[in-house]
Amino acid sequence: MSLNLLSRWRSHCNNVDDDGTPGRYRRQLAVISFTAVFAGILLLLNSLYPLNLPRDNALFARITVDDRGRPLRAFADQAGVWRYPISLQQVSPLYLEALLTYEDRWFWYHPGVNPLALIRASFQNLLQGRVVSGGSTISMQVARLLHPHRRTWVGKARQILRTLQLEWQLDKNEILNLYLNIAPFGGTIEGVQAASYSYLNKSAANLSHAEAALLAVLPQAPTRYRPDSHSQMATVARNKVLDRMAVSGRWSAETVAEAKIETVHAYRARPQQLAPLLSRRLLKNADGQRAIKTTINGSLQQALEDYLSSYIHRLPEKTSAAILVVDNETAAVKAYLGSADFSDPRRFGHVDMIQAIRSPGSTLKPFLFGMAIDEGLIHSHSLLADVPRSWGSYRPSNFNNQYSGPVSASEALQRSLNVPFIDLLERYGPRRFAAALQGAGLNLKIPGGMPNLAIILGGAGTTLEQLVSGYMAFARGGKTVQLKYLQQDLAATEHERYLLSAGAAWITQRTLSSVTRPGSLNTLASVQTAQSMAWKTGTSFGFRDTWAIGVAKKYTIGVWVGRPDGTPLQGHSGRETAGPLLFAVADHIQLQPDQIEQPSEVSQQEICWPLGIYTSVSEHCHRLHTAWTVDENVPPTWHRADNDAWQTNPFTFWINTATGLRVDSHCGDTDEPVIKQKKTVALWPKVLDPWLPAKIRRATQIPFIDSSCDQHIIDTSSTLKITGIVANSIYRAAGSSTVYPSVTLQAIGGNGNYHWYINGVRRYSGSGRRVIPHPLKERGDVQILVVDDSGNIDKLDIRVM
């Protein structure tokens, strides 16, 4: 037994069977050893000579794409090459059919090298005496692209080895996907997606049969077949592919015939350059990301850029403009034009004016209007005073240097009157106003850091971006939200910030929607947007900035026009310059006439001036208005305490029926009996007297004091009256003289110093006894107005012929 086991053991060791033939164990061991050695050699060679596979984050140009995946702007790699990423699942099946049928129909079956194709190519090369065919498969083409070589037999051998190495490391899908992204298409354009956008202005996912055939053959001779420079040769090459598709039966003869009818032409041969400033901004914070998916509507962006580049040349040199369009529902930015022409350094095209801090002019007034409604200071038709006023050393005036006297809050907003809003801001509080804006995301940059009355006229700094975000609140129920530039942010939870109540926001936008549109900029009436947009303009001090912000149900649009270097743009205002551009943008968008839904807490109430509330006493209702209110809150007209002695309105007093003069209520109680009558009148703010009809002025409604019974009454009325000039007089130069006469400015009554305004401009100040000669220098209407230190006012108009 032991001897038999020992014999079998020796047989195994010698690998010889009992009959003396070679044993299967030696053969197996030899195969295993050879395989191990060969595999080791291959692994060693692979490690010593690795494939030059591109890293995903370095393969493609850095690009920004629009909301449909179309390139906006591309930033080439270090070699200046443009590649846009695409996958097998994204590319058109027509292209894959044409590519594989024409280039490598056995792609899915061969090990990377097609021996039959190589033999055929070798035979053709020998007959021609030169290399005319490479017999390369798609895998071999990828290998050559990764490891370029000369077109020699040695080079071909190296290519084959690299191809086998490629097939060993990657599967077929990965190899084909690599080809789609690195194949040459002429110049610095690589990859089928970059070629499709560059030559056809469309994604490779949406190719026609003819376009698929063209792009399939283009890498064979990318210079000779470029459709932008050699369209005729490109057509011949394309048709060759189409014929192959028909012969193979992949496409029908009818389909091929129709495809051949298409003309080969290139849309452009340069990378797209839309939204350049936004692209630059986003890529700075992209953290190495190669493709940035934005919310921009590429078609709208292109249309607005084309329009703006044409429009800006109508304006003086160094002028630029910015446009921002936002979807109110999602806060997605749909168009971003940071400058008028990115390629024009003379207009500071590289400066992003959407982010630039500029004076907002009067664009903050709608926010104060809404806040004052929420605070109960006004309703839509509260009586405000548009009269010359001073706040210490601050003496603002209206844009046109004219004053209108009594105006409603809505009219003051629609006409952007300055004095009523400064008065309103004083009542609301500048610090409180600035804090409310900051809480909603609108951070004002205030010189000195302390909010003051001047901020409502633009005495602070903000950006177009923040203004548009703020104005969105008028379409979003009074709440603001951060603007979104990236598609990945659309799914994020919105963090809304409170600015106004829904009711105040609705009343504000409705008030602004009644402002008529300005003159159009070469816009056909057939495409003009119906008046469904609330809009506000602004002009900063010195004509440095002009603004127009519009709010519709679907979109909020912001426009800025000015000079980035801060120099004035004399003669240009928000309404005349930025306003027409705003409506041109709205016409491009074709806004629908949908109205923002009215909140349930908003209602209309009849109110009377001067009381500001409704009254059934007809004598107290001098003018009837219909006001929009929130929760039926109807605040009365506010009278300034320092200029008005009347603490109640209507004002009640007593008259002596015998004289018709005013007496104290106790007059006659102890002396000779006096028959008295109680009267009640509705008083207008004293500063509005010069603008009122005589019958409702204070001097007419309230009699003088009866001197026989004045011991208990104080006369607080100090009537101010211009003397020496007759209202509506006409002044002419004497004879043939071209020198106009002068008028003498003097007045009586009032308190303290007199301050004289000529056509809204403060010209003289001094003692009430001072007589001032004023020369009339030019033709036209002249408004002369005087106001004293107590706020008493008188005015009249004359004409110079």
Residues forming the active site: 103, 362
How open is the CA angle 59-64-65, to the nearest 5 degrees? 105
Cβ neighbours around 274 below 10 Å, total: 23
Q: CA torsion, points 275, 278, 281, 286, in degrees to nearest 10?
A: -80
CA atoms within 13 A of residue 89's CA, in its CB half-sphere: 0
Distance from the Cα of residue 444 to its chain's centroid = 18
Q: CA distances (Å), 670 to each of 156, 266, 384, 675, 678, in order?
A: 131, 107, 44, 13, 19
Nearest Cα neighbor of 388 from 755, 776, 771 is 755
> Which tokens belong to 501?
């109540």
Backbone angles phi, psi at 537, to 5 degrees: -110, 170
Distance from the Cα of residue 705 to its chain's centroid = 62
CA distance 177 to 142: 10
Residues in the chain: 801
Contact 137, 175 (CB under 8 A): no
Nearest Cα neighbor of 164 from 115, 117, 111 is 111
> Which tokens belong to 396?
């603002």
CA atoms within 13 A of residue 635's CA, in its CB half-sphere: 18
CA distance 654 to 409: 34
Contact 399, 418 (CB under 8 A): yes
Q: In b/e form, how buried is each residue of 540-550, taking b as 16+ CB within 10 angstroms?
A: beebbbbbbbb
CA distance 182 to 30: 43
Burial of 643 (0-12, 13-18, 19+ CB in 10 A): middle
CA distance 91 to 292: 19
How open is the CA angle 474-478-483, to the nearest 5 degrees? 75
Q: Report the SS3 class of residue 256.
A: helix
